[in-house]
Structure 1
Amino acid sequence: PMTDVAIIDTFREAGKEVEIIWQPDIFLPYHPNAMLFKALDPEGKTLFEMTVYSVGGGAIKIEGDADIESEDIYPMNKMTDILEYCERSGKCYWEYVEECEGPEIWDYLHNVWEAMKEAVERGITREGRLPGPLNLRRKAAQYYVKATGYRDNLKSRGLTFAYALAVSEENASGGVIVTAPTCGSCGVVPGVLYHLWKSRDLPEERVLRALATAGLIGNVVKENASISGAEVGCQGEVGVACAMAAAAANQLFGGSPAQIEYAAEMGLEHHLGMTCDPVCGLVQIPCIERNAYAAARALDANIYSSFSDGVHRVSFDKLVNVMRETGHDLPSLYKETGIGGLAKDYQQM
């Protein structure tokens, strides 16, 4: 939501002026989320140009680079294979992550968790208007205060809403957040994990292991489909975030590898077909509210899976394939262009 602000401010700091021309109807072959940079001399002659792609989750690819395709870190990128490996070896998903990433992954995830916590804690104290033409007020502090006045279930659900809103509102105002898996879906995983960490008094070690599992789920989707709203719609952002959070929660509640996979499957399945139609092109309406609602759905998926033995008909891998196909079938106006769906008839002011 703050792409233009970040670019303009950065160039101004260097004493340069820049003009941004938005052309949401142009979709380049490699990825629809692209930006063409051109440097012009005083006479308007092009001195240099570069096409850059934002492929989801903060990953940037530059056209022409040899490494435009990321190197595979995980030898297995299908959940069915990873689940079978865990069942056969007796290991957990987070142990597979450590095997592939090395022990240094825990320092990295510690930094991720710290950033998530700080985003929640900033967001639940801030009030006022969010930047942009929609004139939205922040809601996280209000939800937090109201939630603390309830007991048990209502309090738990209200706090989950508040924490997810807090991070999403930080994103909308240019604050530091974690792409989990994307900026537009950044409130779901920290909303769930922060609530469970606070309410269950969990040690950090267990939260980091849950984060490792959540990251594995996101990576499987990124490898086999997409986490970019511009490519597959919001199912690839909020839907995947819900799957990640559901898996992490289920692990924290003692779920088996099969139950964790089932929780992730439900978190994504019930977001199938969700369009990415931000009003005025801002990650505010309906994005912020979707984060809060998906956090609650992730906890529901965890509970539902916990009542089962983890056996179910539609595998996570099958669902990811369906999500990819569904995303490709969605018309482009429902994929981050800000001109269809809920965004229709709203113009940038």
Structure 2
Amino acid sequence: MVGVKSAQEILSMVREKKLTLSQAAQEWEKETSGRELIEIRHEMRKRLLVMRQAARKGLEEDMKSPSGLIGGGGRLLEQARRENKLLSGGTTARAITIALAIAEVNACMGKIVAAPTAGSCGILPGVLLALEEERKLPEETLIDGLFTAAGVGMVMASMASLSGAALGCQAEVGAATAMAAAAAVEMVGGSPWQALDAAAIALKGLMGLVCDPVGGLVEIPCVKRNALGAAHALAAADIALAGLKSFIPLEEVIEALVKVGRSLPPELKETAEGGIAICPTAQKLVSQLV
């Protein structure tokens, strides 16, 4: 997807060749990389395997991050889910559990897929793997979903940034949530236009989200934001699948996000000098780590 600058470029391929977003993304990758489709899908399958392994590790193993602040949350959520104690159910409950577990694996120095960043790595696989379980989807559908997400992610990267240091967490958790929402829509049969509406709706809901990691670590509030992002993505997907339009197209939402991100003070862009990072309890936690 190198060179994609707007959602309209992808939509042009969708309209002209009557493709889904996933197919358009794969076609673009084939044209720009010179590789065959079977090789491209094989590479994406390997990334899906890493996501599965990270989910399993986060849900089953006893882990602690180097700081000691993060670890075991995914297992607790999964236990509560199995005991029917969660208020959310079905796909959403499973998605937030997986998303949080994978984000913990990242904090504990485990292997993950940056989707699109390490700090937002749990959202997309959380949504995809939960849909696979709840809807009994074949693996090929998940791979298609990953390509749909990649298309949205490349538009975001080309038009804006995927860096919290550049534009705040709206560019990390926000981007991952938009990617997951679009993927979810296409995976269950929604149209390319509904998928882009879902991405825009998701991104609008996280506009202005700041990057304020406690102690500069991708742990608090980052890990729990992954769980919230997964739920947010599914809500945006539901809204789009029901036929509600974004009205503001994805490209314009991204342009607005860039303006908002540039207006954020440095303290709210990954410096750990603002937001949650400077709360008294956060400062106390950091002092105990030194």
TM-score by length of 1: 0.75
The residue matched to 2:119 in structure 1 has which SS?
Answer: coil
1:209 matches 2:152: no
Distance, in Å, in 1 between the alignment partners of 2:131 and 2:79 is 18
Q: Do the aligned partners of residues 273 and 101 (structure 1) sit closer, same or farther apart at CA in structure 2, a change above 3 Å counting?
A: same
Distance, in Å, in 2 between the alignment partners of 1:124 and 1:274 is 27
Q: Which has the higher strand share?
A: 1
Q: 2:228 aligns with which of 259, 278, 293?
A: 293
Q: Residue in 1 aligned with 2:34?
A: none
Compute the displacement of 1:201 (Å). 1.7
Tell me if structure 2 keeps the 8 A contact 1:233–1:335: yes
- What runs of 5+ residues in structure 2 fail to find an aligned partner? 31-36
Distance, in Å, in 2 between the alignment partners of 1:107 and 1:216 is 17
Distance, in Å, in 1 between the alignment partners of 2:88 and 2:270 is 35
Q: 2:61 aligns with which of 119, 122, 126?
A: 126
Tell me if structure 2 keeps the 8 A contact 1:277–1:339: yes
Tell me if structure 1 keeps the 8 A contact 2:169–2:211: yes
Aligned pairs, how many?
275
Tell me if structure 2 keeps the 8 A contact 1:147–1:155: no
The 5-angstrom pairing of residues 237-276 of structure 1 reads 237-276=172-211
Q: Which has the higher helix share?
A: 2
Distance, in Å, in 1 between the alignment partners of 2:71 and 2:26 is 41
Q: Residue in 2 aligned with 1:164?
A: 99
Compute the displacement of 1:137 (Å). 4.1
Compute the displacement of 1:336 (Å). 0.5
- What runs of 5+ residues in structure 1 fail to find an aligned partner? 1-71
Distance, in Å, in 1 between the alignment partners of 2:24 and 2:188 is 19
Question: What amino acid sits opposite 2:115 in the alignment?
Answer: A
Compute the displacement of 1:153 (Å). 5.2
Distance, in Å, in 2 between the alignment partners of 1:220 and 1:236 is 12
| Structure label with greater radius of gyration | 1
Alignment deviations for residues 159-216 of structure 1 (CA, whole Å, 9 cap, x no partner): 2121001100000000000000000000000111111112222111111011001011
Distance, in Å, in 2 between the alignment partners of 1:182 and 1:244 is 12
Tell me if structure 2 keeps the 8 A contact 1:164–1:295: yes
Q: 1:106 aligns with which of 16, 41, 44?
A: 41
Question: What amino acid sits opposite 2:130 in the alignment?
Answer: H
Q: Do the aligned partners of residues 231 and 137 (structure 1) sit closer, same or farther apart at CA in structure 2, a change above 3 Å counting?
A: same
CA RMSD of aligned residues (A): 1.7
Q: Residue in 2 aligned with 1:322?
A: 256
The residue matched to 1:82 in structure 2 has which SS?
Answer: helix
The 5-angstrom pairing of residues 213-224 of structure 1 reads 213-224=148-159
Q: 2:24 aligns with which of 88, 96, 100?
A: 96
Q: Do the aligned partners of residues 100 and 85 (structure 1) sit closer, same or farther apart at CA in structure 2, a change above 3 Å counting?
A: closer
Q: Residue in 1 aligned with 2:33?
A: none
Compute the displacement of 1:266 (Å). 1.1
Distance, in Å, in 1 between the alignment partners of 2:222 and 2:139 is 29
Q: Residue in 2 aligned with 1:183?
A: 118
Alignment deviations for residues 66-106 of structure 1 (CA, whole Å, 9 cap, x no partner): xxxxxx734x4210232243134311111112222221220
Q: Residue in 2 aligned with 1:17?
A: none
Question: What amino acid sits opposite 2:19 in the alignment?
Answer: K
Distance, in Å, in 2 between the alignment partners of 1:295 and 1:214 is 13
TM-score by length of 2: 0.90
Distance, in Å, in 1 between the alignment partners of 2:90 and 2:130 is 11
Alignment deviations for residues 120-166 of structure 1 (CA, whole Å, 9 cap, x no partner): 0111012353321x634421011112112229952433221210011
The residue matched to 2:89 in structure 1 has which SS?
Answer: helix
The 5-angstrom pairing of residues 300-319 of structure 1 reads 300-308=235-243, 311-319=245-253
Q: Residue in 2 aligned with 1:87?
A: 15
Distance, in Å, in 1 between the alignment partners of 2:62 and 2:171 is 30
Question: What amino acid sits opposite 2:55 in the alignment?
Answer: V
Tell me if structure 2 keeps the 8 A contact 1:146–1:158: no
Distance, in Å, in 1 between the alignment partners of 2:111 and 2:63 is 18
Q: Do the aligned partners of residues 96 and 338 (structure 1) sit closer, same or farther apart at CA in structure 2, a change above 3 Å counting?
A: same
